[in-house]
Structure 1
Amino acid sequence: MGRTMRNLFVAGCVVLWLVPLYLLIVNALTPAGGYTGEPDWLPGDFALLDNMRTAWDEAAIGDSFLNSLLYAVVCGAAAVVVAAMAAFAVVVLPLPRPAAWFWLIYSGTVFPLQIFLAPLFGLYADANLYDTRLGLMLIYAAWAVPFAFFLIRNQMTTMPPEATEAAMLDGASFTRIFWSIHVPLLRSGLGAAFIFQFTAVWNDLLFGITLTRSPEVQPVMAALTTLNTAYSASGPPVILAGALIVSLPTLVIFLVFRGLFLRGVTATAR
């Protein structure tokens, strides 16, 4: 009985997730001029490519798509490197009060992002970082570090200390121990952390609409809101086609690196 209820619950969750996805795809196929105002439950004409082309051109999703790709790759990678160094310092180096350092860094995930917006906006305006790629990349990288640190530190605590001790006896510096021993052994955890941070940066809307205004700097989620407002006359099929474009990179990243992701999540959960 328990297994049956569990299977029914899982099946219900799958249906709840698949129905909106199905409606998104079916209505993105509908020609923009032929949309009646009611969602279509069955596919009709195939106008997906035309709707995608309209979304790509009218709302400048193409430029914003490349912006978000830059932000997600660079900031995700930078956050993982910084987080790995911080985790190495907390776990391996003889720091006083390592638990206090852990909670200090990890506390960056505790507070809601909204409380930082007002002071951050004023700081960015004074420093001429508002509406710049550099300004957005700085906040994305800083925002991504705490959770990446949490994942990598958890995996690093499972590593046997004998490897580090043997390297120290051979005269290896902490820098060489980090890059030659810990980084190769942490490959799955680093990959999982990067996928998490890539997805978080890619899906960000809050900082994108607060710290930018020009299409040349905006991330793709902010451009999608522009498509939903300024270009709403294009019709829901075009907006849904834009949403489909935006969802593709994270889906591709997960499908390509799912093995690395699952190994990394399993390793960090031990």
Structure 2
Amino acid sequence: MGRATRNLFVGVCVVLWLAPLYLLAVNVLTPAGAYSGSPDWSPQGFALWENLSTAWNEAKIGSGVGSSMTYALVCGAVAVFVAAMASFAVVVLPIPKPAFWFWLIYSGTLFPVQMFLGPLFGMYADFNLYDTRLGLMLVYVAWNIPFAFFLIRNQLTTMPPEVTEAAMLDGASFRRIFWRIHLPLLAPSLGAAFIFQFSAVWNDLLFGITLSRSSDVQPVMATLAALDSAYAATGPPVILAGALIVSLPTLLLFLMFRGVFLRGVASSVR
């Protein structure tokens, strides 16, 4: 493949990727009452702030943003910390059959989450966890642990065992070794894992619409889906304004911490 062909292929991919973003940016400016019913390729007015305000307040996107921010921050951090402890146990601690424990935890990424929804819904109904923030947080933490464990464990296997041996010769306990030595050294993979898990929780729709129904409990993607339902009273410009609001946190997170993300991924795939 020549350079011209490669450049043409890359150019076509860029256009295909940017076209939906351009349509979103143009149509979110259109006043809701002036929307023609089909996407406009040129601005038909400027009602950005009105559409954003309607999506935030009247369509209750703001409530969903607050809920998802809580879920993503808390559940992402808890899942990463638990995954770090599990990785330390599998790689450093002298436990029997570490490969078995690795595959047992990592298998959580191998099965589609749809197969768990039926039993999970019934269990949540029996234990009064349905439509509660605690219920969603529990499932988000459990859902995020396996992949975070995979990333962190991969970096942990690259650390020389002499580090642990030297600390033990100095009289350090495994708890002290974990907190004072391994946890600081794992900072890149911890950061990358947190960004992955924050994005996963933030973008979740399936658990949100299955395990909750109240507007003050549902995550933002479920709120956005309700805004785009056949019974919604808002027009497409307001829906696009809601989509714009929803897309900003993960984009800003990646742009702000892209260096940490790249270092963490690189250290986990050596």
- Output the TM-score relative to the length of structure 1: 0.97
2:46 pairs with 1:50: no
1:174-185 to 2 correspondences below 5 Å:
174-185=174-185
* Paired residue secondary structure (2:233): helix
Name the counterpart of 1:242. Answer: 242
2:131 pairs with 1:152: no
2:59 pairs with 1:59: yes
Displacement of 1:230 after TM fit? 6.0
Displacement of 1:229 after TM fit? 1.7
**Range moving further from structure 2, 254-263 or 40-49:** 40-49
Q: Compute the RMSD of aligned alpha carbons.
A: 1.2
Displacement of 1:130 after TM fit? 0.3
The percent identity for this pair of structures is 74
Unaligned runs of 5+ in 2: none
Name the counterpart of 1:251. Answer: 251
User: 1:232 and 1:124 mapped to 2: Cα distance?
Assistant: 28
1:13-32 to 2 correspondences below 5 Å:
13-32=13-32
Which string of whole-angstrom CA distances, capped at 9 and with x for unpartnered residues, describes residues 94-123 of structure 1?
111111111100000001011000000000
**Range moving further from structure 2, 57-66 or 83-92:** 57-66
Name the counterpart of 1:132. Answer: 132
What residue identity is the alignment partner of 2:78?
A
Displacement of 1:10 after TM fit? 2.8
User: 2:108 and 2:4 mapped to 1: Cα distance?
Assistant: 41
User: 1:97 and 1:164 mapped to 2: Cα distance?
Assistant: 19
1:195-206 to 2 correspondences below 5 Å:
195-206=195-206
Going from structure 1 to structure 2, the CA distance change for 1:184 and 1:123 (only over 3 Å counts) comes to same
1:98-177 to 2 correspondences below 5 Å:
98-177=98-177
Name the counterpart of 2:12. Answer: 12
What residue identity is the alignment partner of 1:66?
G
Name the counterpart of 2:218. Answer: 218
What residue identity is the alignment partner of 2:79?
A
2:75 pairs with 1:75: yes
User: 1:151 and 1:8 mapped to 2: Cα distance?
Assistant: 35
Displacement of 1:204 after TM fit? 0.2
Displacement of 1:42 after TM fit? 1.5
What residue identity is the alignment partner of 1:183?
L
What residue identity is the alignment partner of 1:156?
L
What residue identity is the alignment partner of 1:96?
P
What residue identity is the alignment partner of 1:186?
L
User: 1:164 and 1:3 mapped to 2: Cα distance?
Assistant: 50
User: 1:6 and 1:238 mapped to 2: Cα distance?
Assistant: 39
User: 2:78 and 2:209 mapped to 1: Cα distance?
Assistant: 23
* Paired residue secondary structure (1:188): helix
Unaligned runs of 5+ in 1: none
User: 2:256 and 2:113 mapped to 1: Cα distance?
Assistant: 30
- Output the TM-score relative to the length of structure 2: 0.97
Name the counterpart of 1:93. Answer: 93
Query: How many positions carry a matched residue from both structures?
Result: 270
